[in-house]
Structure 1
Amino acid sequence: MSQPRVTVIVPAYNALPELTECITSVMEQTLGQDQLEIIAVDDGSTDGTGKELDRLAALCPALHVIHQENSGTAAVPRNVALDRARGDYVFFLDSDDYLGPDALRRMVAMADENRTDIVLGKMVSVGGRPVPTAVFRSNKPRTDIFSSAAYRTLGCWKLFRRSLIDRLELRFPPLRNTEDKPFTATAYLNADGVSVVADYDCYYHRDRENGNNLTRTAQSLSDRMQGTRMCFETVARHLGPGPRRDQIMRRHVEWELCGPVWWLLLRESEESIRERIYPELRAWVVNWVTDAIIERLEPRDRLLLHLLRADRFAQVLTVVRDAKKDAGRGHVIDAGRAYWNHPLFRDAAVGVPDSAFDVTDRLPVHQRTDAVRWDEEGVLRLTGRAHLEDIAPEEATTDLLLRCYDAEHPEIRVPTRARPGTDAGFAADLDLRTAAAGAPLGRGRWNVFLDVRARGVRRTVRLAAPEALRSAGGRPPYEGITVPDRGRPLTLTPYVTPWGNLSLNAGQEIPRDDPRYRVTGMAWHRSRPGTLTVTGTTADEGPGGLRLRVENSAGERRELPVVPGRDGGTFSAELAVRGLRPGRWTVTLAPPGAPCVAVPRPAGLGAAHWLRFARPYAARPVAAASETTLVVEVRPVALAGVARRKLGEAVRRIRG
């Protein structure tokens, strides 16, 4: 008997009617039944689930059914199946859910090609059940939990390399809830690479028609405590103290500690809270929650953690009970800082530090852009309103800031003038022909910000486009003007971003969305340093004259044709970034006779390094450079900085 590529494990308890679609979706995988082993475990069902599994097994030699007494948890049937699994990979599928037809083939191919131990397939909500989205914004051939959003999803609905599971002797703890989180966390922390398939709907996640999902019915804080403890202990066992541990611990502090406390604590009896739950919550905070974690959380979580750390049992119950009422208490402004006006703010008897209530960097800016128009002389005139929450509008002072995100032009500040008869109204005249110290706006794309100040508090936020244009959808450009710039024409065009903000384009084509072309993968070439590999799909029979384009703010442009894939619906291109001059380069697709198409920045793409004339160079994506498009910065590596970093790492290893 040949070894299967994938063992799909399905625990099932009273799983009708969804079970049939679940198992059928595996049987019909394009990977082929000869490459599959399906192990379904009937966990003492009483609704005919066992008989339905036996019926399906008679139709599919790859399906093996195990019947056992009810265990009350999905952990036990998963472990029973793991003991029998033979596949190169293991995939866990809940009996409520189902797979897209090509899901396993794509995930196995991703793992094989990139030699990764875990693959996440894009999840889709069915019936409104929450699914993670941040990690699935783009394909990630190879990443890790520190440079991607993968650790935000600790459900076990993933493809795991079986050798990783065997090496770690991984099994699920027999818990009613959160049983998969310690399992997945341990796998993540020991995996040799993580991949993400984001360009295909792999996993359909749904609620049962009868609402009896185990994770829905086991909804008490008591059900979660042991699994949460195991998560904290797992992270501490595999990561030493420091920023990396804090980054991972923060996920558990927010989602497994604070979140359930606000949601579930008061469902427990006060005796149970006092004698059993509260002491453990406090121990987690004392042992695992650092100041660096607390300062990155929202104010109500900061307050809760400080109270737990200070052993304030009565106040913990009070702030949880009054959370909804206290959320709307507004803010106190003092010495240029904004604080949440909570009843415990500066209560000397409780002693919670002011930093727990500090919302200066989160204080909302209320803004409205009324009009953006050109006047007869080619000046862009903007009018609107802006003020800080809980500060009188007439106290606000507002300027505009222009920041170029794909070139290193200096920031430009544009003072505004007050509009008589309006609260916090402002008006600004922006002459783009002379904005840069008497010269035209530098070539590139500029984001427009509001810099709002009042009573020493300062907040800088993106300028929203007028409501009429934001509600129109898409990214409609305004009419532009063309001015001379050192002997060359320069077109200046305001436009609206997909997020509804106003930006300015100086002399570059604005990337558009085009459903015919989609980038599905991006990675640095393994054997050719400084070469970026881009893959994608096209709705046309072939890519035709499609080209990959890079352009800098000086107007320099390079293009190369893409290579069609074997099936005619895919393409690839290899961009030799190492041949570009230092600076920032925007990467787009250039279809023949059509506007350029944005190439999105992949979250997991790191830096590339190479030597040029015996000097080290690097290229890395610039995270803050564009909301929509990949911008790569090419720079020589500062050798002194590298030496200092390596020395610091050596010192930390010696001390650790």
Structure 2
Amino acid sequence: MPMRRGDALGRYPDSRFAARRRDAAAEESRVIDETPRISVIIAAYAPGDGIDRVIASLDAQTLPQHQFETIVVDDGSPDDTFARLQAFASSRPNMRVHRIENSGWPSRPRNVATDLARGEWVMFMDHDDSLYPDALRRAAEYAAETDADLLSPKESKTTDVWWGMSSLEQGNLPDVHAAGGIHRLSPMVPHKLYRRAFLAEHGIRFPEGRRMLWEDIYVNVEAYARAQRVAVLADTPFYLWHSSPTNNSKSYGPTTAEYWDRLDDLLAFIDATLSGPELAEPRRATLLQQYRDRVLSRFSGILPTATPDETALALVRVRRIQDRYYPPEWDPLLRPAELARALLLRGEQVPLLTQLQVADKEVKNRARATAIGWSEGRLHLDVEARWLDQQDAPVRFLRRGGRILRDLPEAVLAALPPEAVDVTDSLDSFVLQLAVRSRTERVTWQLATAPTARFEALDDDAVTVVGTTHAVLDPATAAAGRPLDAPIWDFYAASRWVGLSRGSGVRSRQPARAALLHGRPMVAYANVTGNLSLDTEQRLRNIVKDGRPDLAGVTGDATGFRLPLPGVHVHGPGETPVELVLTSTHAEQPGPLAAPVATLTGRITAGADGDAGTDATAVADSDAGQAAWLEAGGAVRSGTYRVWARVASGVPLIAPFVLHVAHHGGPLGLSARALPVRIETAAERRAKRAVALRARARGVARRVRDRLVPRR
């Protein structure tokens, strides 16, 4: 009879299989014996491939696996979800799975899992999201340090650059009761840490039932009201919400009675739970947040496209909510655009509110970098933001009687008081924020800004608003005191004024700016969309390509050559390795990387040399006396070569020059000349894609016709 695997393990106890089995058994015993620090709870319902992302992120945690447990409750999925979960758990001693009859919403699975949990803290994940690698370790550490009953961490969202950022502007907060307030818990999602004993003591649970909208807000509001201490963790990426069409939050809307029923229930809960003089401010702040986001904004948003019946239904329900929870005495707490909506709604002037909604939707943000440059190892940028309409014309504000008013339809202006349309004295409230966001990790870090705003004349009757700010990015500390650790970072801007908020990328027509910071190469550049980006790992740009090589200053001998890079800002000592791949060339325009003829190895280093040149258009030159040089050597025959440069761990990128090598029986004769590489414009790239798409469409049509039309 063939020997079974178990027989082999028994006969050879010192084999690698036996060692693995002993390790797994020890880990399982450890998990069973120790109380985990965190219980990660996941309510699952037919998650598809999304659950793989969840499990992979848990496997990658820096917190040792025996210090947390994973509890997944399948809410009666109709597919093979439970079997897949069992397969995951079979190889993970810290994972348990359970199945319940379908409840219709994540609330009951979360409550069931909370009852089963053993961790000091519990946190709730959705079944298709992910945690960042250091999430659980750092959150457990800070929760213990602050003795928090509730910890709200840094969350990102795949489709929203600014998701949750307003709550993190003050950095880490040991207790929002003392500084910050309840709005520091936003967004009020369940992806937070809750002390398990605290939830049990106060009976805090998710409201159960089919389609219990905003169940997470119920838990967070009650937790805030009961907690002794509520902390905010802003310095470590924690949770990534992967937005998808199947999210529960997208399955309902304000054209249905259900939406207004559930919103009424939620507002009643907030009103009752945050009652009393000591919670008066959190109560008002929370109700006003719901007023802005789920009452005024959502109702106004449906008006241009809703049917008359849908509008009538929603109007009755929204007016009932407005009268019940939002007295006119609160109107001065609203910003002008919000106040205009509130007043028109209170007067049930639906046609005018529809016109206002259309006018507000016309506004978009356009930010551009007017100057960028390196100084003392930091990237300085000046940014200007303008509001444009959908035709890219400046948004107009009217001059009337010495005042500046919003340019709205005359009927709307006539129906509103001055405080809802007059922006003359509002420039000091203009907010212009800047941030960098990792293209791969979707993490956003905000930059400090000090914006100013002004009115700029368009004609005798109108002005527009322009905001400006200066910001400084230090790549060594931009991630809450730590270095930027992803390869590509994109710059974004958001302007907020008079109750309107608009965001965009930061456009740039500035030349690329290269830097060598303590041996770490970086390039700030305009990407293919025309927006500003930063390459910190030489993936798409590098400092040979963008360092403005001084071809007249190249020197060489039989061992190699030396090329000044005057366009590289140098800060601090250090060097970075370079590999130069030489390929043959018969044309001026480079194509894909060809088979290498020779490979030279070398480095880019900083040294004192007054002849290296300066970056005259940067904010400041390199540190005093510092210059960057490319030094490389290796065996190479005489010839003319195209040069591809790989800097540090980056990818080979075409250099903007060709290299001429000549042997004359003695020292190496070497020279370089510029390679006229023409960069396509964005418009040209779009045109080429359009041509390719039309050609593809013609090909598809031809193939369909060939199948349908009989051959003769």
TM-score (norm 1): 0.51
Q: Deviations over 1:566-591 (max 9, x none)?
A: xxxxxxxxxxxxxxxxxxxxxxxxxx
Give the structure 2 partner of residue 530 of structure 1.
none
Conservation of the 8 A alpha-carbon contact between 2:71 and 2:113: yes
Q: Deviations over 1:502-555 (max 9, x none)?
A: xxxxxxxxxxxxx9xxxxxxxxxxxxxxxxxxxxxxxx9xxxxxxxxxxxxxxx
Q: Is residue 2:99 matched to residue 1:64?
A: no
Q: Which residue of 2 aligns with 1:170?
A: 204
Q: Relative to 1, partners in 2 of residues 1:289 and 1:388: Cα closer, same or farther, differing over 3 Å? A: farther
Q: How far has the Cα of 1:179 moved from its partner?
A: 2.4
Among candidates 340, 363, 370, match of residue 303 of structure 1: 340
In structure 2, relative to structure 1, the CA distance for the partners of 1:364 and 1:338 (3 Å cut) is farther
Alignment of 1:91-102 (within 5 A): 91-102=123-134
The whole-number CA distance in structure 2 between the counterparts of 1:100 and 1:336 is 54
2:460 aligned residue (382, 389, 392): 392
Distance 1:64 1:261 in 2: 43
Question: Per the alignment, do residues 306 and 390 of structure 1 end up closer, same or farther by CA in structure 2, a change over 3 Å counting?
Answer: farther
The amino acid across from 2:43 in the alignment is P
1:92-171 equivalences under 5 Å are: 92-126=124-158, 131-137=163-169, 139-144=171-176, 147=180, 149-171=183-205
Aligned residue runs from structure 1 range 551-566, under 5 A: none
Q: Structure 1 pair 168/192, CA: closer, same or farther in 2 (3 Å)?
A: same
Q: Aligned partners of 1:144 and 1:176: how far apart in 2?
A: 28
1:40 aligned onto 2:108: no
Number of residues of Structure 1 aligned to a counterpart in Structure 2: 392
Pair 1:260-2:298 in alignment:
yes
Is 1:25 matched with 2:57?
yes
Which letter maps to 1:342?
L
- Unaligned runs of 5+ residues in structure 1 are 367-384, 397-466, 475-497, 499-514, 516-539, 541-592, 594-656
CA distance in 1, matches of 2:406, 2:455: 18
- Give the Cα–Cα distance (whole angstroms) in 2 for the partners of residues 292 and 471 of structure 1: 53
1:280 is matched with: 317
Map of 2:690 onto structure 1: none
* 1:289, distance to aligned residue in structure 2 (A): 2.8
CA contact (8 A) 1:4 1:88 kept: yes
CA shift in 2, pair 1:3/1:74, >3 Å = same
Change (3 A) 1:332 1:206: same
Paired position in structure 1 for 2:242: 206
- 1:343 matched to which residue of 2? 409
Of the candidates 357, 361, 373, which is equivalent to residue 421 of structure 2? 357
**Distance (Å, rounded) in 1 between the aligned partners of 2:357 and 2:422:** 19
Residues 144 and 22 (structure 1), Cα distance of their counterparts in 2 relative to 1, 3 Å cut: same
Letter in 1 for 2:270: V
Change in Cα spacing, 1:53 to 1:250, as seen in structure 2 (3 Å) is same
Given that residues 74 and 81 in structure 2 are in contact (C-alpha distance below 8 angstroms), is that contact kept between their aligned partners in structure 1? yes
Distance in 1 between the 2:231 and 2:198 partners? 15
**Equivalent position of 2:651 in the other structure:** none
Q: Which whole-Å CA distance do the structure 2 matches of 1:365 and 1:27 have between them?
A: 46
CA apart distance, 1:157: 0.7
How much does 1:22 deviate?
Answer: 0.5
Alpha-carbon distance between aligned partners in 2 of 1:394 and 1:154, rounded to the nearest angstrom? 41
Tell me the CA shift for residue 95 of structure 1: 1.2
- The amino acid across from 1:312 in the alignment is Q
Q: Aligned to 1:228, which of 239, 245, 263?
A: 263
Q: Show CA shifts across 1:244-281 (max 9, x none).
A: 54333322122222222233455654324323x32332
Paired with 1:214 and 1:267, the residues of 2 have a C-alpha distance of 22
Partners of 1:207 and 1:358 lie apart in 2 by 38
The 8 Å contact of residues 11 and 77 in structure 1, kept in 2 or not, is answered as yes
State the distance in 1 between where 2:133 and 2:195 align: 21
RMSD of aligned alpha carbons: 4.4
Give yes or no for contact 2:73–2:113 (8 Å, CA) kept in 1.
Answer: yes
Letter in 2 for 1:40: V
The offset of 1:158, in angstroms, is 0.6
**Residue range with higher mean Cα deviation, 75-84 or 125-134:** 125-134
Structure 2 distance, partners of 1:138, 1:354, is 34
CA distance in structure 2 between the aligned counterparts of 1:289 and 1:159, rounded to whole angstroms: 32
Alpha-carbon spacing, 1:101–1:343, altered in 2? closer, same or farther (3 Å): closer
Q: Given that residues 176 and 214 in structure 1 are in contact (C-alpha distance below 8 angstroms), is that contact kept between their aligned partners in structure 2?
A: no
Q: Structure 2 vs 1, CA of residues 308 and 107 (structure 1 numbering), >3 Å: closer, same or farther?
A: same
* 8 Å CA contact retained: 1:176, 1:218: no
For each residue in 1:401-431, what CA deviation from the matched residue of structure 2 results, as whole angstroms up to 9, or x when unmatched?
A: xxxxxxxxxxxxxxxxxxxxxxxxxxxxxxx
1:54 shift after superposition: 0.6
Q: What is the distance in 1 between the residues matched to 2:147 and 2:192? A: 15
Letter in 2 for 1:253: Y
| Residue identity opposite 2:408 in structure 1 | H
Structure 2 match to 1:216: 250
Q: 1:229 to 1:390 in 2, by over 3 A?
A: farther
Give 1:343's aligned amino acid: P
Alignment of 1:614-625 (within 5 A): none
Larger Rg: 2
Structure 2 equivalent of residue 247 of structure 1: 285
Deviation at 1:360, TM superposition (A): 2.1
How many angstroms apart in 2 are the aligned matches of 1:165 and 1:32? 25
Q: Residue 155 of structure 1: CA displacement?
A: 1.0
Residues 392 and 243 of structure 1, relative CA distance in 2, 3 Å threshold: farther
Matched letter for residue 226 of structure 2: N
> C-alpha distance in 2, partners of 1:244/1:126?
29
- Do 2:40 and 2:69's aligned partners in 1 also have CA atoms closer than 8 Å? yes
Match of 2:188, SS? coil
Alpha-carbon distance in structure 2 between the residues aligned to 1:326 and 1:66: 49
* Distance change in 2, residues 1:12/1:220 (3 Å): farther
Which residue in the other structure is 1:187 paired with?
A: 223
8 Å contact kept, 2:205–2:219 = yes
User: Which residue, 85, 106, 109 being the options, matches 1:53?
Assistant: 85
Report the CA distance shift for 1:13/1:142 in structure 2 as closer, same or farther (over 3 A). same
Q: TM-score, normalised by structure 2?
A: 0.48
Q: 1:273 to 1:395 in 2, by over 3 A?
A: closer
Distance apart, 1:322 and its partner CA: 6.3
Alpha-carbon distance in 1 for matches of 2:514, 2:232: 29
2:82 is paired with a residue whose SS is: helix
Change beyond 3 A, Cα 1:468–1:320: closer
Q: C-alpha distance in 2, partners of 1:346/1:56?
A: 59
Does the CA contact (< 8 Å) of 1:27 and 1:60 recur in 2?
A: no
Q: Are residues 31 and 273 of structure 1, via their aligned partners in 2, closer, same or farther at CA, if it must alter by over 3 Å?
A: same
Aligned counterpart in structure 2 of residue 7 of structure 1, from 17, 26, 39: 39
Change (3 A) 1:265 1:311: closer
